[in-house]
């Protein structure tokens, strides 16, 4: 799976790497030093058409395969991914800048585990038990594939998001065309090649690397695409839904987040401080479930701020290939500047306790000025309606605000348009039950923040979208339910016919 085997096209269509037919080359850049990792040619609308045609051609055979056959293929895929784990981690770090320890210990093993999970889930497409619900008929439910799925994945977790899109779709018997973010397409292409190596038929999994306004919008609007799954910003998600509506496609949207981190006055302070640092800095804060708004009950507020500031100062920035590096660069220089803009504007209305632009040298001597680095940043004194509290920064920035009563803390936690994830920190079971009940989010952790598991669903409330990734619940997104009904009486003149014609 040498990257040079993908040529310049970076398209994977019908079981092989093919050259794109877009207008010009595009560089995948390592944000740690600005070097070019790989050069690709972006997809044209014609490449999207070819990928959809390949997926459509593969659909009858794949959807008609037994659940056991699809399960076996996914089991083989998990084995291929495990064999290539080191290479996947290395490439993921090169194209995103995330620390190698995160790629090695989180992204890649999480993807392998997801694959193994869906290998089992493929054999368990549940439906209601057959029965004579009317008395005169036997009814049962079939779960069937929807068809060709068009998926668009983000740049923050390229490998994991590709897997979250591909695995439930094909486990349920669909075929798929995935468009990864053009700045981070490489591990998605490698994943598709691994599917072929595992014996998944050609055309079941296709990848087109292209720009959103050309390849992405064409894929979403394509008449032969039956369903669209999108992960990304809420603004772009609205555009995806608008385009999908024109052809009445099913949509699954996992959108932005602004996760609250609610610390009650009986919480374990050390645990909360450590949880906030880890939860806010994972993947350089480029995580839609990252802790971004810490609400701390006033008795613990000062100690919490001091503890987080101390730990932030100890975080090691440096070469993401170094196993000792804690925090890598942001995904691009443009995104680094966007995050820095939030922080610099906040200086006029809040207090930046620590953080801001990165220094010149990392912990290992790395020249940080060559990369898209930004220091872990802690902000206090911001108003609830301020930009840093309400807006999705998507960087290593944590805003801390105090609250007094439990009611106030929960109200503030819900006071954004988003509802993807949240956490509550308390030793009191009643407080934790109340928080998990009243916080409007698709996932609420208690005394932890971030962990995900393949067996449990991931998805949001409110402007964070709808539908679920991972778990058995995700198969609801990728199947359609058919009611089948058999007459059991063999009576030609049924009693209900008399309501339409004739007399009893």
Q: 484 — alpha (psi -120 to 50), left (phi > 0) or beta?
A: beta
Place of tokens 């339910």: 481
Active-site positions?
Answer: 254, 288
pLDDT tens per residue across span 349-371: 999 999 999 999 999 999 999 99
* Structural element, H or E, at residue 313: helix 298-314
SS (H, E, C) 43-75: CCHHHHHHHHHHHHHHHHHHHCCCHHHHHHHHH
Q: 82 — alpha (psi -120 to 50), left (phi > 0) or beta?
A: alpha
- Give mean pLDDT, residues 208-217: 94
Is residue 166 very low, low, confident or very high in pLDDT (cuts 50, 70, 90)? Answer: very high
Q: 248 — alpha (psi -120 to 50), left (phi > 0) or beta?
A: left
Does 2 score more than 80 pLDDT? no
> Taking the model in full, what pTM does it have?
0.95
Can you give the pLDDT at residue 422?
98
Q: What are phi and psi of 429, to 5 degrees?
A: -65, -35
pLDDT tens per residue across span 466-485: 999 999 999 999 999 999 99
Does 1 score more than 50 pLDDT? no
Q: What does the alpha-carbon distance between residue 54 and residue 196 come to, in Å, rounded to a whole number?
A: 14
pLDDT tens per residue across span 433-454: 999 999 999 999 999 999 999 9
Cβ atoms of residues 70 and 173 within 8 Å: yes
- The percent of residues above 90 in pLDDT, for the chain, comes to 94
Q: What does the alpha-carbon distance between residue 40 and residue 42 come to, in Å, rounded to a whole number?
A: 6
Q: What does the alpha-carbon distance between residue 172 and residue 472 come to, in Å, rounded to a whole number?
A: 11
pLDDT tens per residue across span 137-163: 999 999 999 999 999 999 999 999 999
- Give mean pLDDT, residues 402-414: 98
Q: What is the signed CA dihedral for 412, 415, 419, 420, rounded to 10 degrees?
A: -50
Integer angstrom CA distances of residue 314 from 114, 272, 354, 364, 485: 33, 17, 11, 14, 65
Q: What does the alpha-carbon distance between residue 432 and residue 56 come to, in Å, rounded to a whole number?
A: 48
Q: What does the alpha-carbon distance between residue 89 and residue 81 come to, in Å, rounded to a whole number?
A: 11
């Amino acid at each position: 799976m040498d990257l040079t085997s993908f040529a310049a096209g970076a398209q994977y269509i019908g079981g092989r790497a093919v050259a794109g037919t877009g207008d010009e080359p595009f560089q995948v850049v390592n944000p740690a030093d600005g070097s070019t990792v790989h050069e690709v040619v972006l997809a044209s609308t014609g490449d999207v058409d070819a990928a959809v045609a390949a997926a459509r051609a593969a659909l009858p055979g794949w959807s008609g395969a037994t659940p056991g056959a699809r399960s076996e293929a996914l089991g083989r895929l998990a084995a291929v991914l495990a064999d290539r784990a080191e290479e996947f981690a290395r490439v993921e770090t090169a194209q995103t800048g995330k620390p190698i320890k995160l790629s090695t210990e989180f992204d890649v093993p999480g993807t392998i585990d997801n694959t193994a999970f869906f290998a089992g889930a493929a054999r368990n497409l549940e439906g209601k038990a057959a029965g004579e619900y009317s008395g005169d008929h036997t009814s049962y439910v079939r779960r069937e594939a929807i068809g060709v799925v068009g998926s668009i994945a983000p740049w923050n977790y390229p490998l994991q998001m590709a897997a979250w899109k591909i695995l439930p779709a094909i486990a349920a018997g669909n075929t798929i065309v995935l468009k990864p973010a053009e700045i981070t397409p490489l591990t998605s292409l490698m994943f598709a090649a691994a599917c072929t190596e595992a014996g998944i038929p050609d055309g079941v999994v296709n990848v087109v690397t292209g720009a959103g306004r050309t390849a992405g919008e064409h894929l979403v609007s394509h008449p032969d695409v039956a369903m669209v799954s999108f992960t990304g910003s809420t603004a772009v998600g609205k555009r995806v839904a608008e385009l999908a509506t024109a052809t009445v496609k099913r949509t699954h949207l996992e959108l932005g987040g602004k996760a609250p981190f609610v610390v009650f006055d009986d919480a374990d302070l050390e645990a909360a401080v450590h949880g906030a640092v880890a939860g806010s800095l994972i993947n350089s804060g480029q995580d839609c479930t990252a802790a971004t708004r810490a609400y701390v009950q006033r008795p613990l507020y000062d100690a919490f701020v001091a503890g987080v500031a101390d730990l932030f100062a100890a975080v090691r920035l440096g070469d993401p290939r170094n196993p000792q590096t804690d925090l890598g660069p942001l995904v691009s220089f443009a995104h680094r500047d966007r995050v820095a803009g939030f922080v610099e504007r906040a200086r006029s209305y809040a207090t930046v306790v620590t953080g801001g632009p990165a220094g010149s040298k990392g912990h290992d001597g790395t020249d940080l000025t060559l990369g898209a680095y930004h220091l872990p940043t802690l902000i206090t004194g911001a108003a609830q309606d301020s930009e840093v509290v309400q807006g999705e920064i998507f960087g290593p920035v944590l805003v801390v605000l105090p609250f007094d009563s439990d009611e106030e803390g929960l109200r503030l936690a819900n006071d954004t348009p988003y509802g993807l994830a949240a956490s509550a920190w308390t030793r009191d079971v009643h407080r934790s039950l109340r928080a998990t009940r009243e916080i409007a989010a698709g996932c609420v952790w208690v005394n932890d923040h971030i962990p995900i598991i393949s067996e449990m669903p991931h998805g949001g409330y409110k402007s964070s979208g709808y539908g679920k990734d991972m778990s058995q619940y995700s198969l609801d997104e990728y199947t359609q339910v058919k009611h089948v009904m058999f007459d059991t009486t063999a009576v030609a003149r049924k009693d209900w016919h008399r309501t339409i014609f004739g007399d009893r």
